[in-house]
Structure 1
Amino acid sequence: MCVNQTNQRTQGSRTQNTLGSEARIAHGALHRLRQDLFVDAFAFHPMPPLEDAKVARWVPWMPERLRRWARWLPHSIVGFFAVCVFLGTFSERYTMGPLHGMFSVVVCVLLAVPAVVTLFRPVGAFWLSMIGFVLAMGGSGLSSPIAYLTHLAVMTLVVLRTRARLALEMWLVTFAVAAVLTSVVSANAGDLPPVAVFSGLVLTAAAAVRAWREERRQVVETQTATAEERSRRTLLEERATIARELHDVVAHHMSVIAIQAEAAPYRVENTPPELATSFATIRENAVAALTELRRILGVVRSEDPDAFAENAPEAPQPTLASLDSLLDSVRGAGLTVEAVITGAPRPLPQGVELSAYRIVQEALSNALRHSPGADARVEISYVLGGIGLRIVNGAPSRLAKPSPGAGHGVLGMRERVQMLGGEMTADRTEDGGFEVAAFIPVAHTATNTAGETTA
């Protein structure tokens, strides 16, 4: 007997738990229904016009001035639909008496206006349409099919404008009210089930379209955020690489300053104490600057060297004098490249030499990755006031392998040029190739004779 009582208590507890779970589910559903259809039902939620990119894609043949008005095409279609509904329902009132006809006019307005209201207050438009639908079924004399189809069109617009789950909620409310109203007016309920099924199919399709659009929007946002994050990370990595390279350039000059400041007092007999103190201060500041540079270098040092870059961290930074070895490396990798130097080569600041070398290096690396089988041409122009670079390659002769992070090399080149106050362009050529052109300003120190050599 004790066992039976225990089993009964266990079963009772399970039943109570099941009922409690069902009650929580029902309470959650009613709460969502209240939040979706009742709380802030008439909140202002305007539908924005179409984006210019979509208009250009849908009607590319339309003149540019007319595309500005084409952005409001969905609003115009909804407004035209509302006018047609009003005229169609208003024409039926002439078969009724004056009082009945006036009531029908009110119903006509309640059936036509909600379609326009969906553009600004979608959930409120559903309730206005619901009132018109009830009045039409309750004896306004208007044909019920027109009222039903209008209400279905409004519900479809509301789903497309808000969220997918409103399709089920509006469907339940509509046909619950329709069932009650049918029983109150003692009307024939035989048409209600097929109408409900048809409405369910239409609203399900609208909900699927809305869910697909929302998913697509989230995918686009995710891809955009990922691309921005990748570009930001690449920019930081490029700046770290530039900092490491400039460290070597600046460290060389600071080392020379420290050595010269230390040796200067010994080159002059009877050096004044004030001068010796000044040289000692210069040396101390130079050594302190070198220490800070090494500390910063430890933070920003890049672990992954660039393509064709020297792997030894103690190796001297390359300059345009090392261009021949770079071209040999590229040719060994399978790229046919020609180099043309215009003007008389002259010594340039080490930062400019290094950046020019890296720009040529990155441009040729991009040609190898994205234009396999193409020829490339490197043009270096020593002109008054700076140095010009132009690296152009032809169209690929075979399919290029997918390369993650494509386009980030251009970002690094642009960063180098902007750091030196120059200008740069990078774009595709008419024949399907790619061209990088840059100008880096340099203070002119000597007049050179122009000439041209070919490598």
Structure 2
Amino acid sequence: MNDTTQTQGTLRSEARIARGGLHRLRQDLFVDAFAFRPMPPLEDAKVSWWVPKGLQHWARWLPHFAVGFFSVCVLLLTFTESYTSGPLRGVLVGGFSLLVAIPPMLTLFRPVGAFWLSLGAFLLSMGAHAFAPVYGTSPIVSSAYPTHLVVMALVVLRTRPRLAVEMWLVTFGVAGVLSVLIGGSDAGDLPPVAVFSGVLLVTAAAVRAWREERRQVVETRTVTAEERGRRTLLEERALIARELHDVVAHHMSVIAIQAEAAPYRVENTPPELATSFATIRENAVAALAELRRILGVVRSADPDAFAESDPEAPQPTLATLDSLLDSVRSAGLNVEAVVTGAPRPLPQGVELSAYRIVQEGLSNALRHSPGADARVEISYVLGGIGLRIVNGPPSRLAKPSPGAGHGVLGMRERVQMLGGEMTADHTEDGGFEVAAFIPVGSAADDAATGGQQA
């Protein structure tokens, strides 16, 4: 009883596998067999390295030209033989030649349909060999099988690897049945022909699978690079948000303290004024609590190379630039700082962003230009502050720096957030230069001065 149940289960499994194979065969070769599937031209990157720029547009269509040339060569066999044949034979050979020559070109637009047309030509050539030896010796009839083999290879390269097995089974299954029915003299040649075709189609399937794997690898690398850039941008924005949280929280705390102390500085404070100050303090405290609740999640470890270890330490400004310069000098970078113009208090957000830009510029110089000299220029002008960080070419090979390469993106985010402009590019001597201008309005100056006085 158990053996019978196991045998029935095995048969059901085999029947399920067979139904699945037949379903895939039907989907691949019968459903929408003549659907329009044009082959796109080659990508520019695949022809840009070996074709002159003026010919790149035409080189993208090189596979189409090659397939068309092959079809034309097959077609020329017809005309050559038609001129040397009688009228009836010329018409028959000409019609058959079209049936043989069209499928290779058709693979560019309707690959599965091209296979069926080519299979029909191949089966007709087998009949011609069996029933009409005169026509069977024709070069165009003899070329039906090689052309069909080329068509099958093109279809595999254009679609999916499993079609190689499906087309091979259909072709030589039908050809084997036909050879038995007609009893042709070439039936004995079918097994070696089938083996040769199988080897060629497996090779084409392997090439197709390799190309598909390469395409997926390129897509994965592209997505990974984009995701890395997006993640770096989000991390930089989170860092900016955390720093802005500290800046805004400081000013809101000052507002709350001043609103609480104001009624005690005036004798006989009117009740309305005391109520207004109390309302101001309540709103400031509520805004501070909401700000901490929303942005507190981004108070994580500082990813910057020279960040303070104490999370409660005050945010750095340009006044603390000397400690940053000492740090990079101790790390091996010879840096010179030049300040032009009259230093003045700036809004805390501008001070912090300027400091971070200088910090990131020097960090990049350390990572990518070891042994080079660097120069930091800070210019206090009427409309804002200018920054320039430039380093020379490296004197030795830079070590790989995993995860680096997006610092310029973070600097640009900071400058654009403050309405400024920034450029970053290589210098003529092989170094690198970052130049930024951050505008500072009078209102921002007043706010900064007021904050410091408070």
> Which residue of 233, 242, 245 corresponds with 2:243?
245
CA RMSD of aligned residues (A): 2.2
Alignment-derived partner of residue 87 in structure 1: 76
Alignment-derived partner of residue 52 in structure 1: 44
Alignment-derived partner of residue 450 in structure 2: none
Change (3 A) 1:55 1:383: farther
> Which residue of 258, 272, 275 corresponds with 1:274?
272
Q: What is the distance in 2 between the residues matched to 1:283 and 1:11?
A: 86
| Aligned-partner residue type, residue 103 of structure 1 | L
For residues 252-267 of structure 1, the aligned pairs below 5 Å read: 252-267=250-265
Q: Secondary structure at the match of 1:259?
A: helix
1:328 deviation in Å? 0.3
Alignment-derived partner of residue 232 in structure 1: 230
> 2:199 matched to 1:201?
yes
Q: Secondary structure at the match of 1:138?
A: helix
Per-residue CA deviation, residues 196-233 of structure 1 (Å, 9 max, x unaligned), is 22222221111111101111111122222222222222
Change (3 A) 1:174 1:431: farther
Alignment-derived partner of residue 416 in structure 2: 418
Q: Is the 8 A contact 1:107 1:136 kept in 2?
A: no
Q: What is the distance in 2 between the residues matched to 1:17 and 1:268?
A: 96
Alignment-derived partner of residue 172 in structure 2: 175
1:95 deviation in Å? 4.0
Moved over 6 A (4+): none
Q: What is the distance in 1 between the residues matched to 2:11 and 2:256?
A: 85
Q: Secondary structure at the match of 1:309?
A: coil
Q: Secondary structure at the match of 1:189?
A: helix
Alignment-derived partner of residue 4 in structure 1: none
Q: What is the distance in 1 between the residues matched to 2:276 and 2:155?
A: 81
> Which residue of 149, 153, 158 corresponds with 2:146?
149
Q: What is the distance in 2 between the residues matched to 1:112 and 1:383?
A: 77
Q: What is the distance in 2 between the residues matched to 1:364 and 1:145?
A: 74
| Aligned-partner residue type, residue 53 of structure 2 | M
1:235 deviation in Å? 1.8
1:11 deviation in Å? 4.1
Structure 1 stretch 185-194 or stretch 213-222: which is displaced more?
185-194
1:270 deviation in Å? 3.5
1:185 deviation in Å? 5.3
Change (3 A) 1:409 1:304: same
| Aligned-partner residue type, residue 38 of structure 2 | P
Give the TM-score normalised by structure 1: 0.89
| Aligned-partner residue type, residue 171 of structure 1 | W
For residues 313-328 of structure 1, the aligned pairs below 5 Å read: 313-328=311-326
Q: Secondary structure at the match of 1:188?
A: helix
Alignment-derived partner of residue 124 in structure 2: 135
Q: What is the distance in 2 between the residues matched to 1:166 and 1:44?
A: 18
Aligned residue pairs: how many? 435
Change (3 A) 1:180 1:187: farther
For residues 400-439 of structure 1, the aligned pairs below 5 Å read: 400-439=398-437
Q: What is the distance in 1 between the residues matched to 2:168 and 2:75?
A: 24
Q: Identity of paired residues, percent? A: 80
Note the residue ranges of structure 1 that are not aligned, 5 or more in a row: 1-8, 447-455
Q: What is the distance in 2 between the residues matched to 1:132 and 1:374?
A: 72
Alignment-derived partner of residue 452 in structure 1: none
> Which residue of 150, 158, 161 corresponds with 2:158?
161
Q: What is the distance in 2 between the residues matched to 1:93 and 1:182?
A: 28
Alignment-derived partner of residue 217 in structure 2: 219
> Which residue of 58, 62, 66 corresponds with 2:53?
62
Q: What is the distance in 2 between the residues matched to 1:192 and 1:429?
A: 69
Alignment-derived partner of residue 346 in structure 1: 344
| Aligned-partner residue type, residue 46 of structure 1 | P
Q: Is the 8 A contact 1:237 1:302 kept in 2?
A: no
1:331 deviation in Å? 0.8
Q: Is the 8 A contact 2:125 2:142 kept in 1?
A: no
Per-residue CA deviation, residues 412-449 of structure 1 (Å, 9 max, x unaligned), is 21221121112223333344333222221222589xxx
Q: Secondary structure at the match of 1:191?
A: helix
Q: Is the 8 A contact 1:342 1:380 kept in 2?
A: yes
Q: What is the distance in 1 between the residues matched to 2:379 and 2:96?
A: 80
Per-residue CA deviation, residues 216-267 of structure 1 (Å, 9 max, x unaligned), is 1111222222222222222222111111111121122222222222222333
Alignment-derived partner of residue 77 in structure 1: 66
1:366 deviation in Å? 1.9
Per-residue CA deviation, residues 330-386 of structure 1 (Å, 9 max, x unaligned), is 111111112222332222111011011111111211222222222222222223322
Q: What is the distance in 1 between the residues matched to 2:119 and 2:330?
A: 76
Q: What is the distance in 1 between the residues matched to 2:21 and 2:317?
A: 71
Q: Is the 8 A contact 1:89 1:146 kept in 2?
A: no
Q: What is the distance in 1 between the residues matched to 2:423 and 2:410?
A: 13
Alignment-derived partner of residue 131 in structure 2: none
Q: What is the distance in 2 between the residues matched to 1:174 and 1:431?
A: 66
1:88 deviation in Å? 2.1
Change (3 A) 1:231 1:291: same
| Aligned-partner residue type, residue 231 of structure 2 | R
> Which residue of 293, 298, 301 corresponds with 1:300?
298
Q: Is the 8 A contact 1:240 1:302 kept in 2?
A: no
Alignment-derived partner of residue 6 in structure 1: none
Give the TM-score normalised by structure 2: 0.89
Q: Secondary structure at the match of 2:311?
A: coil
Alignment-derived partner of residue 101 in structure 1: 90
> Which residue of 288, 291, 302 corresponds with 2:289?
291
Q: What is the distance in 1 between the residues matched to 2:83 and 2:279?
A: 105
| Aligned-partner residue type, residue 158 of structure 2 | R
Q: What is the distance in 2 between the residues matched to 1:323 and 1:99?
A: 97
